[in-house]
Each structure stands twice: as C-alpha cells, then as structure tokens.
Amino acid sequence: MTKTPTYWDYLNLEKLLDSQGGLSNDEASVSEDEMHFIIVHQVFELWFKLAINEITLIRNTMSSTQIEEKQIPFIVQHINRLVEIFKLSARHFKLMETLTPQDFLVFRSELGTASGFQSFQLREIELLLGLSNEEREKQGHSDPIEYLLKIVKETEFENNIKKRLVKLKTEPSLKDVLYDWLYRTPILGSTPKEKEDEKIISKFTNEYLYKIDEINQSQLKIMQKDGLDISRMEKSFRETYSQFENFLTNEDDNKMRRVKAAILFIESYRTLPLLAWPRLLIDKIVELEEQIVEFRFNHARMVERIIGKRIGTGGSSGVDYIDQTTKYRIFPELWAIRSMLIDTKHLPNIINEDYYKFNSSN
Ligand code: HEM
C-alpha cells in the first residue's frame, strides 16, 4: 500500500522546525527573545522567496516580444500577489518591535557583523525588479553585490552567490521587459513600426505640454485677478514646465522618449476600453513600488525604536542608511508622469479613438 502523504511530509516541517537553533545550532541555548528574532527573520526570508518566484514569473511572461491582451490580467494578478507580500511584510515589523532595546542587547553582540544587509534574497529581488546601481549611488551607496562577493570569497557560498546574483545582472529585469512593452504600446493608434510614428509622438507630447502651459497661464490669471502676488507661482510654473519639457522631449534616447509618451498616453486616456488593463498594470507596479518603500520605511522605524541611532552590525550608519534606501525608485518614470497629468476635460483631442474600443479590429 502506498503511503498517503501527510501534512508534515508535504511541508517538510521537521526540517523547517529544526532550523531555529541559532549560531550554536542548539535550540536549548536560544532564549525566548532570540527565538522570536530568528523566527521573524526566517518568515521574512520565506516571503522573499515567494516574491522572487513571482517576479521571475512576471518577468518571464513579459519577456515575449508580443504580449497577448489576454495575458495582461494574469500579469496583473501576480503583481497583485507581490503587492500583498510586501504589504504583509511591512506590517510584520510590528511583531519584531515587541523586542525591547534591552532584550535585543542581550544577544546583539553575538551576531558579530551578521546583518540583514547580507540578505541575498533582498538583493535578488532588487536585481530582478531592476533597481540600478545609479539609483543607489544617488544616495551615496555602493554595489551591495560587490560587498556580498567579498564576504563569501573562498567560502562554500561563493558559487551560490555567483550563480544567483551575478548571473541575474546579465538577465533582463522586470523593469526592462515592462519598458519594452511600453515602448511597443500603440500611441494614438501608431506603433514604432509606423513610418510617421516619431512625428505622431512629438505632436502628442507637444500638444500635451501646450495644454499644461495653457492651464498654468489661466490659473495665474485667476490669481492675479484676485489680487495675489503671482511672481513666486510664475517662477515655479516656469521651472516645472521646463522640467516636464526636458523629461518628455529632450531625451537623447529615442526608446525612453517613446516609453514616457506611452505612460503619459495610458494614464491620460485611461478610460478608453483597450487601455483598461494596461493602466491597471501600471497602477499595480506603482502600488508595488509604494509597498516596497513602505517596507523599507517600517523597517527603519522599527530599527530606530530598538537600536536608536547606533551603527548597524553590518557596519552602515544604521537607521540613516535605511531611511536613505526609501528614496530608491525602480520606476521613476511612472512616478514622474503623475506630476504632469491634467484634468481630463483639458486633454488634447484624441485621434484614432476607435482603435482603443473593444470592437476594434486590432
Ligand atoms: C532588532 C531587529 C533589527 C534591527 C536592529 C535591524 C537593523 C538593521 C540595520 C542597522 C541595517 C543596516 C545595515 C547594517 O549596518 O547592519 C539593516 C539592514 C537590513 N535589515 Fe534589518 N534589522 C532588524 C530586523 C530585520 C528584520 C526582521 C528583517 C527582515 C528581513 C531585516 C532585514 C534587513 C535587510 C534586508 C537589510 C538590508 C537593507 C538594504 O540594504 O536595503 N531586518 N537592519
């Protein structure tokens, strides 16, 4: 008779529940507070594992040079799962906070230089999503993979880290494939294959910029009529307008110019039936990044509450370093477009509107 599987066999519970022995691999020597510390970290690492799986699936699904419409709901569903993982993880720090500063000090010194900074799964998540080293450098941070490679040199983990992380650097990230997809998005019914495409994109962004300026000017007029001093406002409008103009048009990179125009187009004409799923996909990516920032922020507040402004066991400035990581943005273009959106009643008239209706032949 074949043995029916049990709950504990299936979940490999024996192994899982025998992994809380700390550095001495002996549960009897682990205090209640340390057990709490170990389990909370392990649960996070399990969520990270699931997140890596989900990002890989989404990245692979989006890697195709032609993503069918019917695949978009599937992609959105999995981004939503990722959002929920990070939402839960961000709240999970509350549990960690039940450790008092003094409770932690009892075993903190035993950790040596071990730190969450060495979480290779978080690095894997960052690489898979597409966090660039330039984004880290803006905050004065260097490549964490180089650091990991140094600490694992000539240890049994060296190959593992190389296989997991260094290899990922050569693969497309979720950001790469998302931006490839945005690049191919039909804008005003035109695709990059069309001869007139560049002209159509320029016309679209120029008309949009013109509308922004028109709205700004009419707002200034109203304020002036009300007797307000508009000089500061005028300067601010001028500055932001020129930032928007640079962002949308002065891009040396043709591809990025089209990607930005596509985001602006989808966000602006979001009520068009065929744009319903693409805009949901973009919304979910923004929500995902928002949750990751919240995860980092909550970690920082928990750290501040438990160790104050002490330096970290990993050698960083501690909470100040973690707060700086909340400034990282993987998808800055998706955020930037939000400052430019205008009330739908002012939107430039759309050409080829039929292209985006459900009965369209496209
Ligand atoms: C008492 C609890 C904790 C304290 C005091 C603490 C402290 C710190 C500090 C100071 C850093 C900065 C690097 C360093 O110099 O060490 C850090 C990084 C990190 N910690 Fe924690 N941490 C705690 C709990 C956790 C938990 C529960 C997780 C769950 C995964 C975690 C994950 C991380 C990660 C992933 C980093 C790297 C962040 C990055 O580089 O973006 N930490 N932690």
pLDDT value for 355: 79
> What is the tens place of the pLDDT at every residue in 163-195?
888 889 899 999 999 999 999 999 999 999 999
Q: Which residues of the chain have pLDDT under 50?
A: 361
pLDDT value for 1: 63
pLDDT value for 54: 98
47 in a structural domain: yes
6 in a structural domain: no
Cβ of 322 below 6 Å from ligand 1: yes
Tally of domains in the chain: 1
Cβ of 104 below 6 Å from ligand 1: yes
Q: Find the 12 Cα to ligand 1 centroid distance in Å.
A: 28
pLDDT value for 226: 87
Q: What CATH code is carried by the domain that includes residue 73?
A: 1.20.58.480
pLDDT value for 339: 95
Cβ of 38 below 6 Å from ligand 1: no
Closest ligand 1 atom, CA of 141? 40
Catalogue the E-assigned strands of the chain: none
Cβ of 185 below 6 Å from ligand 1: no
Q: Choose one of 106, 115, 148 to mutate for the ligand 1 pocket test, by most ligand atoms within 8 angstroms of C-beta.
A: 115
pLDDT value for 296: 98
CA distances (Å), 230 to each of 227, 236, 306, 337, in order?
Answer: 9, 10, 48, 25
184 in a structural domain: yes
> What is the tens place of the pLDDT at every residue in 267-293?
999 889 889 999 999 999 999 999 999
Q: pTM score, two decimals?
A: 0.94
20 in a structural domain: no
Task: Give the domain range for residue 129.
Answer: 30-356
Q: Find the 113 Cα to ligand 1 centroid distance in Å.
A: 12
With contact defined as beta carbons under 8 Å apart, do 78 and 280 qualify?
no
62 in a structural domain: yes
Q: Choose one of 95, 100, 104, 117 to mutate for the ligand 1 pocket test, by most ligand atoms within 8 angstroms of C-beta.
A: 117
CA distance 71 to 69: 5
pLDDT value for 161: 86
14 in a structural domain: no
With contact defined as beta carbons under 8 Å apart, do 30 and 22 qualify?
yes
Cβ of 215 below 6 Å from ligand 1: no
Q: Find the 355 Cα to ligand 1 centroid distance in Å.
A: 49
Q: Find the 115 Cα to ligand 1 centroid distance in Å.
A: 6
23 in a structural domain: no
22 in a structural domain: no
CA distance 324 to 84: 24
> What is the tens place of the pLDDT at every residue in 25-54?
999 999 999 999 999 999 999 999 999 999
* Phi–psi pair at 190, nearest 5 degrees: -105, 140
pLDDT value for 253: 87
